[in-house]
């Protein structure tokens, strides 16, 4: 079974990495923030979905404070650097990552292929536990030179709960499908939601997957007291399931690819159901930044969007190279498992493949129409019982992408 790097372990920097030809790039003069995502703080599941959301928010905020005590002090130091060979100014940007998982492969492609530097930015990843934590870390970043792969669902919830301090906006779309699923061994006897009653479920507290699952239980009329939910980080979920320490895990359904490979080695098979199969709406995956960065430094946002969407575009058109780029940077992952997971991501998260993307360019792939944005915000408001009204136009802008 492949071993996965722990959530807090730093990934290699672009400046010190290798190009596809194997040539070493000039080392940029910057330091890296290393963060460790705590998995403590929540030890029980509340009975109501609304109370669950409050608990996860407290968890995520405490996590962000711990990270940014370091990030805020260091990131200003390397705000801008210069490549010694060309003298070209490069802006230092932090990418908060919701876990070192294979569905993040498109965001590592710009590092491997040099897209970030080509667009004038040098990106340092900081690994956290869960998309929600990554999004909130962007909001709390003191420099503002930061982004994450987040979603409109999280933005809607955060904007409703914190209207006076909310400062985030999505600047491009990266996926059309709700990616969250419940994965389990076929031998567990689980077939649908009601079969989860009395079972033990693993999911990282504070993550998007956990938030979605909490709301999902409410929609299905299942009280959290009817099952046991354990706080398990993404890097340990597969081992927990295959070791039968839990009956099911909640994460992006795309993880079923590598999980199936590893389960077969034990004579087991894997099955899953998607939350979207039972009425959960799309989450509106995309690139999230601070509104101030859009207003004051649109050139930096443009660079982030262009590099990231080109990474996604390569991964859609050439999944093999996408998987190889990811593994080249994250050596603890194996190619076969990564490739299988990414093929699943194209179905269960992105919603495009090399054929269906047709003539869309990277920037057209990143466009989302206003009706879709409104629908996601409306559904999120209803599912999470939000009392505050959120204006969809304040959560998303299409100024950095192109309408198909």
Instruction: For residues 154 and 32, give the distance between their C-alpha atoms in angstroms, rounded to a whole number.
Output: 27
pLDDT at 45: 32
Model pLDDT for residues 86-136, shown as the tens digit of each residue? 556 899 999 999 989 898 999 999 999 999 999 999 999 999 988 889 999
Q: Could you identify the residue written with the tokens 């993550």?
A: 207
The pLDDT of residue 2 is above 60: no
Model pLDDT for residues 73-95, shown as the tens digit of each residue? 333 333 333 344 455 689 999 99
Q: Are the C-beta atoms of 180 and 280 separated by less than 8 Å?
A: yes
Instruction: For residues 349 and 282, give the distance between their C-alpha atoms in angstroms, rounded to a whole number.
Output: 9
* Residue (of 135, 252, 249) closest to 201 by Cα position: 249
Model pLDDT for residues 273-309, shown as the tens digit of each residue? 999 888 888 889 999 999 999 999 999 999 999 999 9
Q: Could you identify the residue written with the tokens 């963060």?
A: 35
What's 119-186 look like in SS3?
A: CCEEEEEEECCCHHHHHHHHHHCCCCCEEEEEEHHHHHHHHHHCCCCCCEEEEEECCCCCCEEEEEEH
Looking at mean pLDDT, say which of 17-31, 39-53, 355-369 comes out highest. Answer: 355-369
Look up the CATH architecture of domain 180-278. 3-Layer(aba) Sandwich (3.40)
pLDDT at 35: 36
Say which CATH topology domain 49-175+283-394 has: D-Maltodextrin-Binding Protein; domain 2 (3.40.190)
The two tokens of residue 132 are 């929600």
Long-range Cβ pairs for the range 79-87 (8 Å, 24+) = 79/143, 79/145, 81/28, 81/29, 81/30, 81/122, 82/29, 83/26, 83/28, 83/117, 84/26, 85/26
DSSP 8-state code for residue 350: I
What is the residue extent of each domain of the chain? 49-175+283-394, 180-278
Exposed/middle/buried for residue 337 (C-beta within 10 Å: 0-12, 13-18, 19+):
buried
Model pLDDT for residues 182-205, shown as the tens digit of each residue? 999 999 999 999 999 999 999 999
- CATH topology identical between 49-175+283-394 and 180-278: yes
| 235-243 average pLDDT score | 95
pTM summary value = 0.69
For residue 348, what pLDDT band results from cuts at 50, 70 and 90? Answer: confident
């Amino acid at each position: 079974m492949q071993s996965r790097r722990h959530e807090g372990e730093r990934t290699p920097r672009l400046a010190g990495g290798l190009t596809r030809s194997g040539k070493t790039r000039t080392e940029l003069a910057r330091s890296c923030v290393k963060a460790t995502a705590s998995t403590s703080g929540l030890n029980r599941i509340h009975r109501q979905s609304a109370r669950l959301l409050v608990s996860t928010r407290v968890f995520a905020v405490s996590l962000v404070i711990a990270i940014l005590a370091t990030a805020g002090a260091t990131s200003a130091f390397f705000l801008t650097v210069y490549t010694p060979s060309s003298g070209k100014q490069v802006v230092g940007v932090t990418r908060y990552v919701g876990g070192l998982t294979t569905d993040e492969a498109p965001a590592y492609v710009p590092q491997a292929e040099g897209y970030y530097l080509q667009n004038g930015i040098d990106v340092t990843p900081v690994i956290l536990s869960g998309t929600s934590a990554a999004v909130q870390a962007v909001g709390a970043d003191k420099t503002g030179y930061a982004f994450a792969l987040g979603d409109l669902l999280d933005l809607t919830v955060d904007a409703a709960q914190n209207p006076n301090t909310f400062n985030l906006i999505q600047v491009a779309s990266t996926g059309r499908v709700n990616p969250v699923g419940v994965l389990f061994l076929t031998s567990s006897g689980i077939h649908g939601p009601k079969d989860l009653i009395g079972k033990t479920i693993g999911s990282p507290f504070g993550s998007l997957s956990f938030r979605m699952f909490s709301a999902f239980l409410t929609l299905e009329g299942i009280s959290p007291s009817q099952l046991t939910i354990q706080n398990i980080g993404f890097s340990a979920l597969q081992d927990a399931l295959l070791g039968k320490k839990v009956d099911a895990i909640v994460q992006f359904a795309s993880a079923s690819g590598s999980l199936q490979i590893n389960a077969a080695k034990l004579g087991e098979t894997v099955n899953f159901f998607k939350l979207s199969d039972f009425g959960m709406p799309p989450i509106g995956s995309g690139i999230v930044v601070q509104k101030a960065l859009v207003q004051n430094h649109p050139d930096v946002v443009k660079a982030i969007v262009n590099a990231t969407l080109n990474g996604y575009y390569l991964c859609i058109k050439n999944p093999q190279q996408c998987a190889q780029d990811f593994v080249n940077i994250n050596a603890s992952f194996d190619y076969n498992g990564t490739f299988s997971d990414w093929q699943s991501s194209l179905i269960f998260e992105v919603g495009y493949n090399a054929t269906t993307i047709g003539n869309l360019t990277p920037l057209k792939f990143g466009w989302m129409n206003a009706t879709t944005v409104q629908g996601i915000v409306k559904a999120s408001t209803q599912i999470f019982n939000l009392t505050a009204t959120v204006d969809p136009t304040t959560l998303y802008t299409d100024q950095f992408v192109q309408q198909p």
